[in-house]
Every structure is written in C-alpha cells, then in structure tokens.
Structure 1
Amino acid sequence: MSRSDLAGKAAAPKIARPVPLRESVFEALLELIISSHLRPGQHLAESELAEMLGVSRQPIREALQLLSGEGWVDLHPGHGAFVHAPTAEEADQLLAVRALLETEAARLAARHHTEEGVALLRALCSRGLAAVEADDVEGAVAINSELHATVMELSGNMVLSDLAAQVSRRVRWYHTPVARQRGRASWEEHAALIAAIADGDEDQAGEIMKNHTEQTRHLYLSQLGEDEPAEPLPSKRRKRRAPAALGN
C-alpha cells in the first residue's frame, strides 16, 4: 500500500502516550495538599518529596512549578516552595461562588430529578454517614464531593456543572479541615436536601443547599482566623521581594 493510499484513508486513532511523570507527581502532590497531609504554609523540600514518591528531584521540581501556576504552591527564591496558605478573602470569595452555583444546582435537581438519581444520592448519604461514624474524615470528604457532584449532574445544566468542576478541588481543600467539626450535622443536612429533591420542591432544595454551604463557609473562615501558619516564612523574604515589587 502506497503512502497516497494511506493518506486517503480515514485517520487512525492516535496511540495513547504514557502520562508524563511530572503530571503523575503533580496529581500525587495535589492530593496530599487537598487532603491536608501537606498543610498550608508547610515547606516542601524537593529531596524529601522525591524520596517519599520514589522519583528524582527533576519531576518534583517540574510538578511544583505546575502547582505554583495553579495557586496551590508558593515559590520563594532563596527559600524554596511552600504550600499556599489561603487568605480569608480568597476562601470567602470561592466559597461564596460555590454557594451560588450549588444552590441553583439543587433547585434544578429538584425539577429534573429521577428515581435513579435520588437512589444514588441516598446511597451516598448512607455511606457518608457511615464514614463519619467511623471517624473516616478522608472518606467522608471524598463521599461529600461525590454527592455534591451528583446533585450537579441531576441539575441537567452542563454549563453549571462545568463551572462547579473548576472549583471542586479547592472546595474539597477548604472542606477537609472542618469536616470533623461539621460531622453528623452535615449529613443530616444532606438527607434533608435529598428529601426536598425527591419531592420536587425546588425552593426548599435551594434553601437547604444555601444554608448547608454557608455553614461550611462560616466554619472554615472562623477556623482560618484562629489558626496560625504551619511554618512561617523567614522575615528576610519580604525584604528581598520589596525591590522586585517596586520594579513591576
């Protein structure tokens, strides 16, 4: 078969390439940040991370650059990399947007719900409550994210779902530190939300979701004001950065 014959045929499916190591390292480090195994303000030593993940320092360095670009890590020349510590303003703005998106999603889910969708929500709620009873914070947070994503899917609004997906990881990051304090109350709110969705009560579903997301927002902001940074940056950093800032 000649080249011209090949060129005239339909394009063959592309061969999947292995995921670059830096992206695998990026995902691993991001999960450690979101789950609070790497805490806000914590210094990220390349050698320690490389040993922990069983890779060389180069993909660690590349992954930290990617994480910095997405706001998960702060890079400070001369001092290294640190897990980003969200400000109260950052958290407030993102959680406020989350409340708006999810309140509308709950309202639409009540309008478009299906028996299968409600059954899935109830199963997730049961699993989440079991995780709380077992003091499995990571499990409860993961199931919580899945439940909220399911409500988004039931809304039937793909644009709304796409927007929510853009902030879902950071919402999970903010939720993790307060998940234990929210405890059983959070899942009782989920149960009430599911009941409103099953009844097709749009206003009630929206109101419950609004109050539910606001509870997490207020608790996180309250805790943020009480906590101190895990590892303060050296004071010299600010002195060194000042001339650069003036030059921008």
Structure 2
Amino acid sequence: MIPSTPPAGVSVPRLKRPAPLREGVYDALLNLIVTRALQPGQHLVESELAAHLGISRQPVREALQRLSSEGWVDLRPAQGAFVHVPTEDEADQLLAVRSLLETESARLAASSATPESVVLLRELYEQGVQALAGGDVDAIVAANAAFHAAIMELSGNKVLAELAGRVDRRVRWYYTPVAPQRGRESWKEHAELIDAIAAGDPERAADAMRDHTDRTRQISREVRREEEGSDKGKKEERTPA
C-alpha cells in the first residue's frame, strides 16, 4: 500500500489534464514500477494512486487493467491489484533473449561504427562511470540502458532495435537489483566492448557483448536466490518453535 505521503526521494508528479489521461496514467505507473518506486508485491490501492496523481479513480483502474494484461500487475479477486513479483524463470528467459539480441547488435555495430559513433559511446561510458561513482542506482540503470540503446541504434537494424525496445523496460526492471553487484565490472566490460567496436572487429564485439550479458544473467540468478533465501529465513524466524 502506498503511504499517505510519497517516500523520501520518490516523486509522483501530478498529471496535466490536457495530455491523453489514460496514456499518462499508464506511463506514470509503469515508470514507478520499472524504477521500483513501487516494489514487487506492493499493494496498489486505486484511491491512493488517484490522489497522488491528482485524478479520478477510473483512469487508474483502466491503467491497472492494461498493466495486468502486460504482466506488470497482478489483479487478485477480492484483494485488489499488486505489483507483479517476477519469477527466476521469467527473469532468466528475458535476459537470455536480451543476450541474443544484443550480441547481434554489437556484431553489426562493429561493422558500421564511425569515429563519431565511437565518441558517443565513450561519452555514454563516462556518464555511467560518473553515476557509478555517485552511487545513484537509478542513474546507473539509466546510463546502462542508454549505452545499450546506443549500440542497438548503431547496429542499423530497425527490426532488431524494435524487438530490443519491447524488452527494454522489463530489462531495466530486472537489472535494478543487480546494478550494485555488477558495479565497476559491468562498466569495465563496457569499455572492452567499445574497444572492439572501435577496432571494427565484429566477432570480438559479439563475444564481448555475449560475455557481458551472460554475466548479468548469472548475477541476476544469484541475487534472486539470495533474496529468496533471506525471505525464507525471515519467515522461519517469525514461525513459533
């Protein structure tokens, strides 16, 4: 349940009515889920969401139904709406698809890279390193997404970019808990990837991206199992002997 006032550091903007309200509510709630301002498993109360957004309950209800159809929200009879809790299989399957798409994008990017595009990648890399130094997880996740999107754009394959775009938000959702653990190793891998693309070496770039995304997939599994073990331990502590 969302508290009567937003948690510290969480900004829930009021929506301007001239904008398409249904889409605006959907985008606002999805962003809160992706950034984990609304945590997996959290109860979503229509009246409270409507109050925070400064609107009526009807567009909130419609947005929750759409989010449910897309797998972001679970609607439970007689209980209400809850942020979906992704399973290990869901996360693993999505990250596996991501690895396939991005490995090919890196291969193509290395074949079409220009000096200007390499400069852009290095600028995005520096932004990521700065976000890492600042310890801002949201900024790190955003920088990571921007870096990978730039490589996808550089691939020149519009179909590939479209497919990657469809999974981008969910990848960010799964990546957020992993970002602190990946830390400097992730950006070191990004630097190696840039060097391969700058060298115009498609196979080296593909190998670097495959290793990079597979490592993220592996860490994601480890983090989820640690979380599940922690949750199990807490439940056992609360259970009377």
How far apart are residue 39 of structure 1 and its match? Answer: 1.1
Q: CA RMSD in A?
A: 1.8
- Structure 2 letter corresponding to 1:37: A
Correspondence for 2:108? 108
Q: Within 5 Å, give how 1:108-147 maps onto structure 2.
A: 108-147=108-147
How far apart are residue 226 of structure 1 and its match? Answer: 2.6
Correspondence for 2:82? 82
Q: TM-score, normalised by structure 1?
A: 0.83
Q: Within 5 Å, give how 1:51-90 maps onto structure 2.
A: 51-90=51-90
How far apart are residue 19 of structure 1 and its match? Answer: 3.9
Deviation per CA, 1:23-80, whole angstroms, max 9, x where unpaired?
Answer: 1011111111111111111111112212222222111111101111111001011000
Q: Are positions 1:93 and 2:93 aligned together?
A: yes
How far apart are residue 197 of structure 1 and its match? Answer: 0.2
How far apart are residue 228 of structure 1 and its match? Answer: 4.4
Q: Within 5 Å, give how 1:39-50 maps onto structure 2.
A: 39-50=39-50
- State the distance in 2 between where 1:42 and 1:215 align: 29
Indicate the structure whose relative CO is greater, using CA pairs within 8 Å and at least 6 residues apart: 1
How far apart are residue 215 of structure 1 and its match? Answer: 1.4
Please tell me whether the aligned partners of residues 26 and 64 of structure 1 are also in contact (alpha carbons under 8 angstroms): yes
- State the distance in 2 between where 1:23 and 1:69 align: 15
Correspondence for 1:225? 225
Correspondence for 1:214? 214
Correspondence for 2:9? none
- Which structure's CA Rg is the greater one? 1
What secondary structure does 1:166 align onto? helix
- State the distance in 2 between where 1:152 and 1:43 align: 35
- State the distance in 1 between where 2:177 and 2:133 align: 17
What secondary structure does 2:176 align onto? helix
Please tell me whether the aligned partners of residues 105 and 151 of structure 1 are also in contact (alpha carbons under 8 angstroms): yes
Please tell me whether the aligned partners of residues 36 and 177 of structure 1 are also in contact (alpha carbons under 8 angstroms): no
- State the distance in 1 between where 2:54 and 2:19 align: 16
Q: TM-score, normalised by structure 2?
A: 0.85
- State the distance in 1 between where 2:181 and 2:216 align: 10
Identity percentage over the alignment?
61
Correspondence for 1:200? 200
How far apart are residue 21 of structure 1 and its match? Answer: 1.0
- State the distance in 2 between where 1:108 and 1:228 align: 38
How far apart are residue 20 of structure 1 and its match? Answer: 2.4
Q: Are positions 1:176 and 2:182 aligned together?
A: no
Deviation per CA, 1:192-246, whole angstroms, max 9, x where unpaired?
Answer: 10011000111111111111111111111222223249x9xxxxxxxxxxxxxxx
Structure 1, unaligned runs of 5 or more: 1-17, 232-248
How far apart are residue 88 of structure 1 and its match? Answer: 1.2
- State the distance in 1 between where 2:50 and 2:225 align: 33
Deviation per CA, 1:81-109, whole angstroms, max 9, x where unpaired?
Answer: 01111111111111101000100110110
Question: Aligned pairs, how many?
Answer: 215
What secondary structure does 1:81 align onto? strand
- State the distance in 1 between where 2:166 and 2:221 align: 21
Tell me which stretches of 4 or more aligned residues in structure 1 moved more than 3 Å. none
